[in-house]
Structures are given as structure tokens and as C-alpha cells.
């Protein structure tokens, strides 16, 4: 009876909330400068809000009812909890698909949080959100083409596959051939995307503002326009070219090992993007990667190097590096080694979400990672405070960045940040996240949006590393330590030119090389020990 009453109360709350907000939406439509678009927006908001509320209430009720009276740590509770996790993940998956837009992005991000959310959620989201999103019909695709280029795709390309090879939250991709026979990939924005994005953000804003009204201490209010997804494909195309140009100018030693598809500008608009078709293995397809003669640990090292260069030296970062957006292929100019191995080349796809770090933030972020790699507690605190974590939450910030508790972050052991990828590591991190949830919420409220996007990028890269290596590796941390340290040294040299300052920086560089060499020797010794044990 109590459960039934609880369900009725939640259902009434959902209906009342939707009705109230729907009335507010009607008033807004009446006074809007663009009534038709505003009407479309606010008829979508109550529907999404109602779905959100019902899904949340259903999941909460399922956990409460199913686990009631089951002893902690019992086998029965573990079995039931697994079933509830699975049911709840499917409900959340269904909500993401129904609402679309940024909800798909949310589902994709959950799929990267392997060490923070139950595995049932991670697996469900990974299987569905990366490249199995709902698709637009061919008629809808033709509608976009006629509006953008004045013709249907069959009249523009020599061949155009009506069935997309991939679909995501904002768009879907079709394979086509140019009149000269060149194979291309054509990215077409979903027809409903602009209005859906506005509705999604309006819904989120309404939920957050309502929570703040009921609970004043909960303050995550945001301007939805500032967090609206990038819907201009011409911006995406320019981002891809700027990314490669940065590597050519600022990181020429690694430039040949990173690639982005060339853009056909004459057949690209804000809602259409025609680009070179890329063949390669998806970054989480370890079987295919090995078949191509590419060692997974070399691929993992390359991914770490590419993104460390972007974050610490370029300050222009691809912030959506999940598995569907990263391909790998043998470097075209490389030859097979005696053992049949080849050097990898990383192909970056989907350049819609980039973020720029100004000089000071980029330098502080690099200095923080340098401190994390070398377990320098004083420098960790100093740079965490500079980035907005505060003197009370800097240790938690370091823990979120590394997915290690503070005791491990400052452990002088050479492999103190390495995550093995086992169940014990995962359980420890999930317990850590649960224990400090209020503090984590406060930290996320404080941090600048650009740093929040860096956290998202780290989550994606951590998931990629786990797929390739079944955990993290000391080598990837050595790469991060080297590049972040180089960035700090370059920043110091660019600001002050006196002889003494340059001499001091030069000595810092020598010390850095010595410390990195020591870590490398420690790595070799660990490998030797492992080999002898085998």
C-alpha cells in the first residue's frame, strides 16, 4: 500500500509539474516575437519534461521496491541489483532515444563512465548510443538537400546510398561517389535537429531552475544558449582544418600520425558536409587493429600523445573523442617491420565540438597534469586552485581527473596512477564517487565550463585506453608527463627572457629528463619482473 501511494504521489507530481510548466509555456508563446517557432518549442518541452519525470520516478521506485528488505552484501541482493540496473539502463536508453538531441549525447557520455556508473548502464549505452541512433528517412534527407543545394542527392552525386552507415544525435552519414568516382562520406543534419536542440535545452533549464527554486542550495542554472550543441557544419569543417594546421605548425614531429578527412567545400553547407571517405578500424575494435598489424599499446600511446599535444600545447581540443569518432589505420608511408608490424595513424572524425583554452588556463592545466604525474602535492593544490577547484576541493579534483583516491595520487610509486581495469579498481572508484557525491556536485558547479569539457574528454580517452589495454598503462602517463612538462617550460620561456630565468628553466628541463628517464627505467624493470614471473 505504501508503495502504491508513493507511486501515485510521484505520478501526481509529474502531471502537476507538466501542467504548470505547460501553462507558463503558453504564456511565453503569446508574448513571443516568433510565435510559430516558440509554439513548436514549448509544445515539445512539456512532453520531454513529462517523459523525464516519469522515467526518473519509475527507476527510483524500481530500486526502492526491488531492494526492500534484502540484506546488504547478500547474494540475493547482488542478483536483484543487477536485474534492476539492467532494467533501469534500458529505461534510460528508451528515454534518450525518444527525446533525441542532447539526450543521445548524455547516453554516449554515460557509456564512457566505466568506473563511476554500474557496468549494466555502460554496456547498454555503448551498444546503442555510439552508432545506432534513430535515423532520418531518405525523404527527410532529400528535404535537407533541396533546401541547402537545390537538388536531391541522386542528381548531385554519381552514386548515393539511401541507407546511412552511421547515425548520431545531430546527423547521419551516407556513402556516395563523386562524378569522378571518388568515394565520399556525406553528413546530413537531422531535419528536426534545430528545434529539438532548443527544446532539449529549454527542458533542462526548466528542470534546473525548478530544483533551484525548491532547493536553493542546488544551483546549476545555466544559459542554454551557451551550451547548445554545435549545429553549423561549416564550423566543423573549419575546426578539422585548424586542428591539422596546429599539428603541422606546433607539433610537426607527430603531424604525420594524425589525419582528418578532407572537406569538399562546394558540396558543404551549415547542414550538409561532404568529405573524404575514410577506411580504418574503429578505435575499440582491437581484433581488426591487430589484423592490420598495429599493436594496441602503440595505438594507445598515439592517442595519448595526440590529445596531450592538443590540450597542453595547442589549446584547441577535440572534446568528443569517443570510439565512433576515432579510427586507426596503418600510416600510409610506413612499411611492415620484420615482425609484420606497422606504425599507426589516428583519424579524427566529427569535429563539431572543440574548445579553446586560453594561454593561462592551458598552462595551469598542463602544470596540474605535470604535478599529478610526479605526485607533487603542493603543485597539485596550487594549480587546482588556479583552475577553480578551491582550497577545500583540490584533492577531489585531482581524484576525478585521475580516477584515483588522494592517497594514490600522491603516492611516490612510479605507477601510482595506473588503473588495472579489474573489478576491485572499478568497485573502489564507484564507492569513492558515491561517498563524495555532494562534494563532486559542488566541484562541478565551481569549475569553468571549458574544464568540465576537459573532464568529459578525459572520460572518453580513459574509455578508449581501457578498450585497447584493459586498463591504463604507465607509458601513457609518461607521455602525458613529458608533453605537459614541455608545455610548462615553453610557457615560462615565452613570458620571461632574462638570462637567470632561462637558465633556471633550462635546469628544470634537465631535471625533467632525468625524472622521465627514471620512470622509463622503472617501467623496464616492471616489464622484466612480469616476464620473469611468467
Total residues belonging to the chain: 534
The angle formed by the CA atoms of residues 483, 421 and 424, to the nearest 5 degrees, is 130
User: Do β-strands 159-160 and 258-259 pair in parallel, antiparallel, or remain unpaired?
Assistant: unpaired
Alpha-carbon distance of 255 to 479, in angstroms, equals: 16
* CA atoms of 10 and 15, how far apart (whole Å): 9
Candidates 34, 161, 200, 320; catalytic one: 320
| β-pair type (171-177, 258-259) | unpaired
d(CA 362, CA 310): 10
**Euclidean distance between CA atoms 372 and 376, whole angstroms:** 6
232 in active site: no
**Collapsing DSSP states into helix, strand and coil, what is residue 318?**
strand
Of 112, 468, 470, 472, whose CA–CA distance to 299 is shortest? 468
In sequence order, the β-bridge partners of residue 344 are 330
Give the torsion through C-alpha atoms of 256, 257, 261, 263, to 10 deg. -30
In contact, 481 and 369? CB cutoff 8 Å = yes
- CA distance to 202, 270, 272, 388, per residue, from 369 (Å): 36, 37, 38, 15
Pairwise CA distance, residues 109 & 88, whole Å: 16
Three-class DSSP category at 70: coil
Would you state the cell numbers that stand for residue 320, as one nine-digit string?
568528443
Rounded to whole angstroms, the Cα distance separating 294 from 231 reads 35
Eight-state DSSP code of residue 230:
P
The total of other beta-carbon atoms located within 10 Å of residue 195's CB is 15
The alpha carbon dihedral of 469, 473, 479, 480 has a sign of positive
**189, β-bridge pairs:** 171
> Phi and psi for 96 in degrees, rounded to 5?
-60, -45
The three grid cell numbers given for residue 294, joined into one nine-digit string: 598495429
Residue 153: its H or E element: helix 153-156
Spatial contact of 68 and 36, defined as CB atoms under 8 Å apart:
no
CA torsion 480-484-490-491 (nearest 10°) is: 160
CB atoms within 10 A of CB 513: 12
Task: List the catalytic residues.
Answer: 320
Amino acid at each position: 500500500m505504501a508503495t502504491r501511494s508513493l507511486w501515485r504521489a510521484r505520478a501526481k507530481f509529474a502531471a502537476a509539474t507538466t501542467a504548470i510548466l505547460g501553462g507558463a509555456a503558453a504564456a511565453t508563446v503569446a508574448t513571443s516575437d516568433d510565435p510559430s517557432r516558440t509554439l513548436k518549442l514549448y509544445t515539445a518541452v512539456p512532453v520531454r519534461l513529462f517523459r523525464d519525470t516519469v522515467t526518473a520516478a519509475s527507476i527510483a521506485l524500481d530500486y526502492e521496491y526491488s531492494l526492500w528488505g534484502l540484506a546488504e552484501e547478500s547474494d540475493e541482493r547482488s542478483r536483484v541489483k543487477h536485474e534492476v540496473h539492467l532494467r533501469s539502463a534500458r529505461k534510460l536508453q528508451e528515454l534518450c532515444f525518444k527525446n533525441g538531441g542532447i539526450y543521445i549525447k548524455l547516453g554516449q557520455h554515460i557509456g564512457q563512465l566505466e568506473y563511476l556508473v554500474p557496468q549494466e548502464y555502460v554496456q547498454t549505452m555503448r551498444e546503442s548510443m555510439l552508432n545506432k541512433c534513430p535515423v532520418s528517412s531518405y525523404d527527410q534527407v532529400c528535404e535537407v538537400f533541396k533546401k541547402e543545394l537545390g537538388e536531391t542527392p541522386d542528381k548531385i552525386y554519381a552514386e548515393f546510398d539511401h541507407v546511412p552507415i552511421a547515425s548520431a544525435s545531430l546527423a547521419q552519414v551516407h556513402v556516395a561517389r563523386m562524378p569522378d568516382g571518388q568515394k565520399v562520406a556525406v553528413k546530413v543534419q537531422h531535419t528536426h535537429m534545430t528545434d529539438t536542440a532548443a527544446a532539449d535545452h529549454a527542458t533542462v533549464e526548466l528542470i534546473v531552475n525548478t530544483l533551484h527554486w525548491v532547493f536553493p542550495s542546488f544551483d546549476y542554472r545555466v544559459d542554454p544558449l551557451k551550451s547548445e550543441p554545435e549545429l553549423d557544419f561549416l564550423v566543423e569543417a573549419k575546426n578539422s582544418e585548424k586542428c591539422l594546421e596546429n599539428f603541422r605548425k606546433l607539433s610537426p614531429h607527430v603531424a604525420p600520425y594524425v589525419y582528418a578527412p578532407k572537406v569538399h567545400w562546394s558540396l558543404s553547407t551549415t547542414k550538409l558536409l561532404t568529405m573524404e571517405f575514410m577506411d580504418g578500424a574503429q578505435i575499440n575494435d582491437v581484433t581488426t587493429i591487430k589484423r592490420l598489424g598495429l599493436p594496441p599499446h602503440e595505438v594507445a600511446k598515439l592517442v595519448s600523445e595526440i590529445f596531450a599535444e592538443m590540450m597542453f600545447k595547442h589549446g584547441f581540443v577535440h572534446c568528443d573523442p569517443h570510439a565512433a569518432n576515432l579510427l586507426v589505420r596503418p600510416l600510409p608511408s610506413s612499411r611492415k617491420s620484420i615482425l609484420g608490424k606497422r606504425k599507426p595513424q589516428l583519424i579524427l572524425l566529427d569535429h563539431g565540438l572543440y574548445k579553446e583554452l586560453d594561454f593561462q588556463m592551458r598552462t595551469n592545466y598542463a602544470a596540474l597534469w605535470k604535478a599529478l604525474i610526479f605526485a607533487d602535492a603542493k603543485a597539485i593544490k596550487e594549480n587546482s586552485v588556479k583552475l577553480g577547484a578551491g582550497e577545500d576541493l583540490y584533492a577531489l579534483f585531482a581524484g576525478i581527473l585521475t580516477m584515483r583516491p588522494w592517497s594514490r595520487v600522491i603516492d611516490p610509486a612510479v605507477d601510482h596512477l595506473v588503473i588495472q581495469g579489474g573489478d576491485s579498481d572499478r568497485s573502489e572508484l564507484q564507492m569513492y564517487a558515491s561517498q563524495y557525491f555532494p562534494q563532486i556536485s559542488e566541484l562541478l558547479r565551481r569549475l569553468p565550463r571549458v574544464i568540465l569539457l576537459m573532464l568529459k574528454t578525459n572520460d572518453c580517452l580513459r574509455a578508449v585506453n581501457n578498450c585497447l589495454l584493459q586498463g591504463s598503462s604507465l607509458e601513457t602517463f609518461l607521455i602525458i608527463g613529458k608533453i605537459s612538462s614541455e608545455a610548462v617550460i615553453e610557457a615560462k620561456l615565452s613570458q620571461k627572457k632574462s638570462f637567470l630565468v632561462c637558465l633556471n628553466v633550462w635546469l628544470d628541463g634537465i631535471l625533467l629528463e632525468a625524472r622521465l628517464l627514471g620512470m622509463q627505467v622503472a617501467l623496464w624493470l616492471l616489464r622484466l619482473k612480469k616476464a620473469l614471473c611468467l
